[in-house]
Structure 1
Amino acid sequence: MSNINSNKRELSSEERDELLKALKTRFEKNMSRHKDIEWAKVQAKLEANSEKLWSLDEMEITGGEPDVVGYDKNTGEYIFYDCSAESPKGRRSICYDREALEARKEYKPENTAVDMAAAMGIEVLTEEQYRELQQLGKFDLKTSSWVKTPADIRKLGGAIFCDRRYDTVFTYHNGAESYYAARGFRGLLKV
């Protein structure tokens, strides 16, 4: 069960060990996503930051299958993206943001991409980051994912999302208040 609504932002030692084991297994199974990165260094960073571990656990619980996709040499941080084949199951049927949710007269979704990301301590991928992810594999062949929408588009009531069809990554637009069973969002976390 997700801890999103909980104020507890720290895992028990059992939860931490279970998460680290899952992350290590995924890391070793998908070495092409993170060439020249050593798991021991990633694990040391994770163990030193319980709040980031909690956020990764939230990504895991909601079906994101987070994995290391890079290293920022300027900040010394490892970059995790949601790498699930389809948009994370526990984050679908949501509109883009709180303003969009409040604008709906009826049939309001339970949550928003922006609010969920904030509660989880992660960021919604930008279109550029989404396209970088698609260089590492084929994602969202049946689903789609909200991406961070530029302010000028959002100001006019829209929001953007991406998916992969016909071996091509597409960016589309919708009213920010729309939501679909097959659309969620992918996030990133720097540790």
Structure 2
Amino acid sequence: MYLPDLFHEQDFETVAGLIDAHPLGALTHIVNGAIVADHLPFLFDAEANVLRAHVARANPLWRDFDSASEALAIFTGLDHYVTPSWYATKRETGKVVPTWNYEAVHVYGRLRAIEDANWIRALLRDLTARHESPRPAPWALEDAPDDFIDAMSKAVIGIELSITRIEAKRKLSQNRNAADRAGVIAGLEAEGGESAERMAKAMAALDTKA
């Protein structure tokens, strides 16, 4: 992706946090010369430098991907429209245009399919724990009959992306002056709503970090 230095996020903990907070990735890969995309919830194993997921056995992805080509998993974080009306520069010169602030992580790597029952069971347990743990009464694989989980596990195939490179972008008005950035944050806060409020907090945190 187009990645100007101002928007290039290189802090590993921040990038890992973006993937963890927005784990549903669009996995793009090549099948018979054509681009195919699947949307999968991933787990990022930073120590092993891999992304892990699973697909239905009926999904041709695990049989048809081109192992000689890189695959790409795309994760989208916060995003929000930015009106030029929020800029101090609008009142000063009028030379402003609309834009869109957003976060994105592109993870490249080589795919492999995994049919090992123990690997799949461990992945399902880890995925479940990741998303159930914040709940007051977390559901676990052990809450369902073992033979049922065995049957469900046999209906899926593990997918692992061995990471070759990561590109991360956080376009949060870093290209605007301090007054314009303050205007965007104030505008987002006044607009309200979860999307606007989360973007305002991310921009404010970036300013504090700087």
TM norm structure 1: 0.30
Between structures 1 and 2, the one with greater strand share: 2
TM norm structure 2: 0.28
Structure with the greater alpha carbon radius of gyration: 2
